[in-house]
Structure formats: C-alpha cells, structure tokens
Structure 1
Amino acid sequence: MKKAEVVFIPSPGVGHLVSTLEFAKLLINRDNRLRITVLVLKFPHATETDVYSKSLPISDSIRIINLPECSLPPNTNPVSSMSAHLEAQKPNVKQAVSNLITGEASGVLAAFVVDMSCTAMIDVAKEFSIPTLVFFTSSVAFLGLTLYLHNMFEQVDSTQLLQQNELAIPTFTNLFPSNSLPRSLLSKEWKPVFKSYARGLKNADGIIVNSFEDLESHAVHSFFSHPELTSLPIIYPVGPILSPEPKTKDIVGSDIIKWLDDQPLSSVVFLCFGSKGCFDEDQVKEIACAIENSKSHFIWSLRKPVPKGRQGFLDRTAEIGRVIGWAPQTQILAHPATGGFVSHCGWNSTLEGIYFGVPIATWPLFAEQQVTAFELVCELKIAVEIALDYRVEYSSGPNYLLTSDKIERGIRSVLDKDGEFRKTVKEMSEKSKKTLLEGGSSSTYLGRLIDYIMNQVSN
C-alpha cells in the first residue's frame, strides 16, 4: 500500500520550527502508513534554522527539503514582510509538491500541515485539492481569543470593543483584561495583519494545538460547546510536544549542569526570557538588585553583558549564582536543584516548565505572552505574577520599568517550598507526562487526527 504523504510547512522561527519537527516525528512513530516531507522556508538572516533541520535523521518516513531563499525589495514594510515572503515562496512550494507526487516512490498526497503563521499556503493546498491542517504553537485559550475577537470585529467596531477594560472570551472563565491583549490587536498598523491571520486560521480544515486537555479543559470544551466556536475548524490538542536542545553548545551546558549538581534540592531560580528577550540597562540593574536582595541561588540567562558599574554583583554572587548567555533550558528545568522559573511565558517555555514541574513567575514581553501570563496566573493558578501587562514595543521599548521589589517578591514566591503553586504544578506535570500515553487525551486526539488524514487517501 502506498504511504499517505503529508507536507509540513513550518515557520522559520526556531520556536515554531523545532516543535513542528518534533510533532512530525510523533506522527510517524505512531503510524508507519504516513510519510512526511518538511519544506523549510528560508528567509534572509534565518541561519539558526539550519542547525535544527540538518540535525534531523533523514529516513524513508521523514525528509527535509530546503526551499530557495527569496529576497524582497529593500523598502518592504516590516509589518507586511512575513506575508510578502510567503507569497514569494508559493511557487517554490508548488514546485516541490509537484516533484513529490510525480516521483517514482511517491505516495498519495493526503494533507498539508502549515504553521500558524503560514496559513497563506492553504491556497497552494487547494490547488492540489487536499485539506490543510494548521499547527498552532500556542495555547487553546489564545486560539479561542483570536478567533472569537475576529468574529466580534466583523460584527461591531473593533475600536469600540477594545475600549472596554475587560472582555468576555469563551475560552477564559474570567473576564480578560484589554491591556493584556497582543500588540497586533492594540496597534492600528498591525490590525490588518491580525485580521488576515485570523481569517487564515478559519480557512483551515482543522487546527492541531500544542497543548493538552488536562491543562486547558475549559478552553478545549468551549470549542465543542460555545456557539461562537463550534462552527470553526475542529481542534486536536495533541501536546505537550517539547523541543530538544541543539547539540552545538554542550560545553556551556555541561558546566552549568555540574554547578547545579552541587546545589540543594529545589533551591535555584532560573531566569530566562527566550531567544529574543533582552532588557535595557536600567531594567538589568533592577533584576540584579532583586536577585541579590532575595539571596537566592540562581542561573540568569542574560542576552547582554552585565552593565558597567554592576560588575561587583558578579563578584558578590559568585558562590550562589551563574550569569550566562545561551542556556540549556530543558536540562536546567529538568534538574532537581531547579525550584523556580522566571519566564517570558513563551508557549514552548511554559510547557517545559509545567512538564518538569517547575513553578513559573510570569514576565511577558511580546506577541501573545501577556495572554499566556494571564492564563497561567488567573485561570490555571499554576504561576506567580511578576507582571501581566509588561510589554516591549519594537519602536519604543518597554511600557514601564519593573522595580526590584516586585521582581524579588516573584523570586521568593516561586521558590517557596510550601507555596500553593508548587503542588498544583507537580500534579499538572504528572498529567502532562501521561496524556500522550495510550488512553491519554492527547493520544486519543492524535489517533483521531491520523484517522482524518488516512480517510483522505481511502476516499
């Protein structure tokens, strides 16, 4: 029997690319009737994607095709550059898929799986008369917020809607604060991007979400019960799909792990703000002051050197902490000495913190991170609040300075061995490890998804 060919189109962003590739491996390990081809979009300066795509084992069941890089005119508007790149890549995708289905060992083309930011590729899938599934690398609650607000924008004036201090969103049990909405909803220049993005999600035949029902039970159930959401594409929560560490920075990682081996159980706070998270000098000083005043053992992943005048901080904390650049995040979170995680609330980092049972202190920076912070603190009650509405604008920088006393309070709370959050996170950690095993909800949704894909071949 010929295999069912599934074409994956991940976003070039590392956080999206790696979890998409891990999901591809999950699919082929579950069912050997599938064969996956990953089309890697090459955007200018996106060299970091090469590290991951080259490290993947190539087999009969999964293969990688690096598409040619497309250059755009130098005056392309940054807001619309992603859309422009996707449009430029459509002929390359079409050609690659045509070559795929005419090859000697070709299977039967069954579906496209495209990243949440690549829904423009649904047009190409339609040319081949096959369904498209979106791989959504954020929470079910955020997916619901996006689709529900798009529905509202088509019915009422969006400016009027966003002037409300709180919004009733079906995927949240609490009223949602407007000041925690993503920038794409709050700024005029990004509003068309949001509308196009949400419209793209609605055009999908199904949405695969990197989350799990035990974590977001209310949000998941709302997709099957709320009248504003039941008519939208069906969702498949199949997570948590975690990203492995790249194998290129082992020396730095091994030094940190050796240091952690000598620390007391659950005593270390890990401060890390993602691949793009960095702060100005004033904010770095406040963080350093908070760490020192808390007297906590720590690992601080800092994208820039400690500012001049603060070198004494390194000397004074040499015995109890480490300031590093790149951090082997999953290894640190998995270590028994790690007791708390000050995080930007990127969804991959959030899932990793939960999986390893490490309480999170929320400090969102951009994109949908404020939404995730609100969900963790107010909905799921598995995180400590440092901030919910902090955001960094590309043009103007942060909206305010977070003072050391707030940060210190967050560090102390997240390391509190008797804290209410620690027990809840440990319980959710156990559920996250069982959900992909046979009988778990994510395993069941994965089975339904594979049945849907295989039905395309048999019909």
Structure 2
Amino acid sequence: MAYAELVLVPTPGMGHLVSMVEMAKLLVDRDPRLSITVLIMKLPIDSEVDSYTSSLATSMDATRIRFVHLPRVNSDPEISSGTFLAHFMESNKPHVKQAVADLAESAGSIRRLVGFVIDMFCTTMIELADEFGVPSYVFFTSSAAFLGLMLHLQSLQDEQHMDITKFKDSDTELDFPSFTNPLPAKVLPSVVLIKEAVQSFLEHAKRIRAVKGIIINTFDELEPHAVGSLASLGAPTVYPVGPILNLKGETKTKADGGGRGDDIMEWLNEQPPSSVVFLCFGSGGSFGEDQVKEIAYALERSGHRFLWSLRRPPPKGKFDLPRDYTDPAEVLPEGFLERTAGVGKVIGWAPQNAVLAHPAVGGFVSHCGWNSTLESIWFGVAVATWPLYAEQQFNAFELVAELGLAVEIKMDYRRDFRMESDFIVTADEIEGGIKKLMEDASSERWKKVKDVSEKSRKALMEGGSSHLALGHLVEDILNNTP
C-alpha cells in the first residue's frame, strides 16, 4: 500500500510549529494510509525549534512523520520590520520546492504526494502546491473569530477601498460578522494598523479564500457564532479540529542549563487547592522595570499566593526572545522577595501546561496567546487578560466580552515591536483584576469556564465535534488525491 503523503509547512516559531506537529500526530493516528513530512525553515534569531524537533524525531514513528530541515536563508529586511515575514517566506520558497521535488523522487511507489498543509503565514507556498498539482489546506493557529476578522478586513480594503490603518488610536467601535458584540478599534492587531505591514498581512486572507479547506485550532462549542459566520465571509470548507495542545508539558532540561520545573511543582504541591494565581506571558512576553514593580506591588497587596514567571526583556532595539534573570531581585522592589517568601514564588521560564494542570492553581494572568487560551480552557482555569503583541488584544476582547470566560486587567495594552503602549498598568488595576479573578469562584464566569473545559475534552472524543471534523478532513484529503 502506498502512503498518501502530506507536506506540512509551519511558520518556524514555537507557537505555530508545536500545534502543527500535534495536528500531524492526530492525522497519522486517525488513518494508517497517511504519512507526513514537516519542512522546517530556519529563523535568523535563536529559537528552540532545533532542540524541539530533534527531541521529537527520537520519539516518533519516522515512517509516518519525518522532519526535513531546510538550509538557512539570508533575509534582507530587519526582522522587526513589517515586511520581514513576507521576504522570509519568499526566500525559502526555492528550498521548499526542492525538498518536495526530492521527496516525490525518492518516495517512488511507497508514498505519493496528496497535498500541502500550510501555516496561516506561509500562504505564498500555495503556488508550489499548484505547481505540484496537489490541493492545499491552511492550518490556522488562531481563533475562528480572528480568521473572520482577517477575511472581513481584507474585503473592506479590497472591495470597499477602506484604509484600515485609519483606525489606529481611534475610539471607534466596529461591527464584525464573526462577533455578536461591536469590536473596539483599540483591540485590532498592530499589524493591520501600520501602513508598511497591513498589505502583506491581508494578502494571506486573500490567498486563504482559494485553498481547499481551512483547519482551525478551535472547536465548535467554544466559538459557535464565529465558526458559523465564516461561510458568509467567503471562507472555503472549515475544519475546527481543536483544541490541539501539546499536553506532555515541559519539565525538561532547557538549552540554557539544568533540569527545570521540578522545584516549581514541589512548591505547588505545598499550596492549598485553587489558591495560587499564576502569571505567565508566553515565550515572547516581558516588561520594563517600572511595570515589573507595579506587578510586584499588586501581588504583595492582593494577599494571594502567586507563581510569577518573570523574564528579562531583550536589549532595546534587538529582536530576540526574553531570557531568565540571573537575579530577579535587581528589578523587584527592595525586600519584595523576602516579604512574600511565605506566599509567592518568582521564577523564570515556566512549564505552563504542568502548572495550569496543578490543582493549586486557581487563576491565570495571561497574555492571551491562542495556545495559552486553549490550555487555560482545557484545564478549567479562569483568566485575567493582559495582552502584549500579535492578535492578543483581539483574543482578550473575545474572552472577556464575547465569551464571558475572563476578567480584564487590560485589553488594549501593547508591547509589540511595531507599536507600544505609552502607559504603565498601575498596581491598583492589576490588584483589582487579580482579586476579581481569585475571589469569584462561585460566579457565572467560573461555571462557564468549567463547562467549556468539559466541552473541550468531549470535542476530541469519539463522536465529538472536533473528532468528526478531523474525520471529514481525512476523507477530503484521501478522496481528492490527484
């Protein structure tokens, strides 16, 4: 029997790569006829991609899922520029084409190429799928509502000739088909508010309309209105197959030395159930010293137990990921660590899944990245929103106003290489959000979080909405083989 071979092209950031690999596992587990090759592009900044893929390669069935590392390319524009990603994808295209040609040649009668699955930011690769005469599917790592936003903004720009960037610093509220509530312009992602970035971003939406199907990391029961709105916005067939999560967790040895995570879990084991507020802002999240002090004052005054993942920002003007502090005391108020030693723990990197799964954790102050949002829902932990970059402001609004699953610390804060908030969130605001989050255990919102958590698990079980959607996707792939 010849395997039906899918080529997966992820954006090489961990937030995109991990969920695409987890989807690959779901696909090969679902049907023995499928096999998958994942093409790994190399970003110019250091990332954990290499160590992640090499650890996977040893733990997976290499006959069904393989990783091909592409040569590193020299991309001209600054990585922090609005056009970097578009240039990066274009310069990787010849390598992707060569890798797929090599694959087709070496596969012989064992595997035949049946399609490309392309990340939402790799849509220029659709042309390559066309050249090889196979259909392409887009893997959308954000919410159904955000896909709706992209499609709607693209038609406003291309059909109604609207300048989307005019909403920058605007107090306008906008009607969007994927939301039942009006959307404040202040929570639009930075990428659509900046002239040099908006065009290449909305090009993705234009190309997405032409693919065979869109695989979305969400589930029907979480976003029923948004999922239902997509067909009227011109989306092709949509497969909500989420939540796609890497639940193995990462209490592992990190590249910067030492086994990490064990002492965190030991500390949590000593705390009462649902008593700890966990503050964590994703792999790209960090704050300046003034803001760090306000968070510290808020935690100390709130009186709640806390676990705080505090990271050092990259040097000014350098596009890189945050690192751990050698000594966090250098940015914290004097005596803070001593005064809070009995109730709190300040850490660097955090094994987020393992922490959210722990019964001692009762609330999550989050940047609202979509993967983190799905994890908090899966583990039934309510969120206080503090978005930083990408589409996180939009996600925060969806969680608070549209879905009623979160409380707001801020929804319009930005710490983005394209735009930055010129205000500090005060200790009073942070303390208020933490208290509302932690002291509301009997609230309607808390019940809703627990209910959606249960639905997220049922969606993946046999007969659940995402399980069925994945089955339809596999049928579509196999029935449309060239």
**For the superposition of Structure 1 and Structure 2, which TM-score range results when normalised by the shorter chain?**
over 0.9
Name which of structure 1's ranges 291-300 and 47-56 shifts more when overlaid on structure 2.
47-56
For 1:186 and 1:223, the matched residues in 2 are separated by 23
Residue 421 of structure 2 aligns to which amino acid in structure 1?
A: P
Match of 1:279 in 2: 287
Contact map agreement 2:292 2:331 (CA 8 A) in 1: no
User: How far apart are residue 66 of structure 1 and its match?
Assistant: 0.6
Match of 1:39 in 2: 39
Query: Does 1:366 pair with 2:389?
Result: yes
Match of 1:18 in 2: 18
Secondary structure of the residue aligned to 1:251 is coil
Match of 1:93 in 2: 96
Residue 54 of structure 1 aligns to which amino acid in structure 2?
A: S
Q: Map residues 152-167 of structure 1 onto 2, 5 A cutoff.
A: 152-159=156-163, 162=167, 165-167=172-174
Relative distance call for 1:11 and 1:396 in structure 2 (3 A) is: closer
Query: Does 1:124 pair with 2:128?
Result: yes
Residues 349-380 of structure 1 deviation map (CA, whole Å, 9 limit, x = unaligned): 00000000000000011110011000000010
For 2:458 and 2:18, the matched residues in 1 are separated by 22
For 2:150 and 2:422, the matched residues in 1 are separated by 23
Query: Does 1:69 pair with 2:77?
Result: no
For 1:68 and 1:258, the matched residues in 2 are separated by 42
Query: Does 1:248 pair with 2:253?
Result: yes
TM-score, with structure 2 as normaliser? 0.91
Q: Map residues 23-422 of structure 1 onto 2, 5 A cutoff.
A: 23-56=23-56, 57-73=60-76, 78-103=81-106, 104=108, 106-159=110-163, 162=167, 165-224=172-231, 226=232, 229=233, 231-243=234-246, 244-246=248-250, 247-249=252-254, 251-304=259-312, 305-308=328-331, 310-394=333-417, 397-416=420-439, 417-422=441-446
User: How far apart are residue 92 of structure 1 and its match?
Assistant: 1.1
Residues 402-453 of structure 1 deviation map (CA, whole Å, 9 limit, x = unaligned): 1111111111111122233211101111110110111100011101100110
- Number of equivalent positions: 454
Residues 163-186 of structure 1 deviation map (CA, whole Å, 9 limit, x = unaligned): 671111111000111111011111
Residue 55 of structure 1 aligns to which amino acid in structure 2?
A: S
Relative distance call for 1:95 and 1:248 in structure 2 (3 A) is: same
Relative distance call for 1:366 and 1:86 in structure 2 (3 A) is: same
User: How far apart are residue 47 of structure 1 and its match?
Assistant: 3.7
Relative distance call for 1:142 and 1:396 in structure 2 (3 A) is: closer
Residues 186-205 of structure 1 deviation map (CA, whole Å, 9 limit, x = unaligned): 12222222222222322322
User: How far apart are residue 307 of structure 1 and its match?
Assistant: 4.0
Residue 91 of structure 2 aligns to which amino acid in structure 1?
A: A
Secondary structure of the residue aligned to 2:11 is coil
Secondary structure of the residue aligned to 1:7 is strand
For 2:452 and 2:77, the matched residues in 1 are separated by 48
Residue 55 of structure 2 aligns to which amino acid in structure 1?
A: S
User: How far apart are residue 55 of structure 1 and its match?
Assistant: 1.4
Residue 447 of structure 2 aligns to which amino acid in structure 1?
A: K
User: How far apart are residue 308 of structure 1 and its match?
Assistant: 4.5
Name which of structure 1's ranges 368-377 and 152-161 shifts more when overlaid on structure 2.
152-161
Name which of structure 1's ranges 97-106 and 134-143 shifts more when overlaid on structure 2.
97-106
For 2:70 and 2:61, the matched residues in 1 are separated by 16
Secondary structure of the residue aligned to 2:335 is helix
Secondary structure of the residue aligned to 2:82 is helix
Match of 2:319 in 1: none
Residue 6 of structure 1 aligns to which amino acid in structure 2?
A: L
User: How far apart are residue 75 of structure 1 and its match?
Assistant: 6.6
Relative distance call for 1:267 and 1:105 in structure 2 (3 A) is: farther
Query: Does 1:424 pair with 2:441?
Result: no
Residue 92 of structure 1 aligns to which amino acid in structure 2?
A: H
Contact map agreement 1:284 1:306 (CA 8 A) in 2: no
Q: Identity over the aligned pairs, expressed in percent?
A: 51
Relative distance call for 1:47 and 1:395 in structure 2 (3 A) is: closer
Contact map agreement 1:340 1:359 (CA 8 A) in 2: yes
Residues 44-100 of structure 1 deviation map (CA, whole Å, 9 limit, x = unaligned): 224410121111124211111111111134778822221112111111111111111
Contact map agreement 2:82 2:191 (CA 8 A) in 1: no
Contact map agreement 1:302 1:325 (CA 8 A) in 2: yes
For 1:31 and 1:74, the matched residues in 2 are separated by 42
Q: 2:468 aligns with which of 439, 444, 447?
A: 444
Name which of structure 1's ranges 245-254 and 376-385 shifts more when overlaid on structure 2.
245-254
Relative distance call for 1:340 and 1:448 in structure 2 (3 A) is: same
User: How far apart are residue 111 of structure 1 and its match?
Assistant: 0.8
Name which of structure 1's ranges 272-281 and 161-170 shifts more when overlaid on structure 2.
161-170
Q: Give the unaligned 5+ runs of structure 1.
A: none
Relative distance call for 1:395 and 1:89 in structure 2 (3 A) is: closer
TM-score, with structure 1 as normaliser? 0.95
For 1:187 and 1:73, the matched residues in 2 are separated by 20
Relative distance call for 1:164 and 1:421 in structure 2 (3 A) is: closer
For 1:324 and 1:158, the matched residues in 2 are separated by 46
For 2:80 and 2:414, the matched residues in 1 are separated by 22
Secondary structure of the residue aligned to 2:412 is coil
Match of 1:4 in 2: 4
User: How far apart are residue 396 of structure 1 and its match?
Assistant: 6.0
User: How far apart are residue 9 of structure 1 and its match?
Assistant: 0.6
Contact map agreement 2:10 2:119 (CA 8 A) in 1: yes
Name which of structure 1's ranges 156-165 and 299-308 shifts more when overlaid on structure 2.
156-165
For 1:287 and 1:12, the matched residues in 2 are separated by 32
For 1:74 and 1:453, the matched residues in 2 are separated by 37
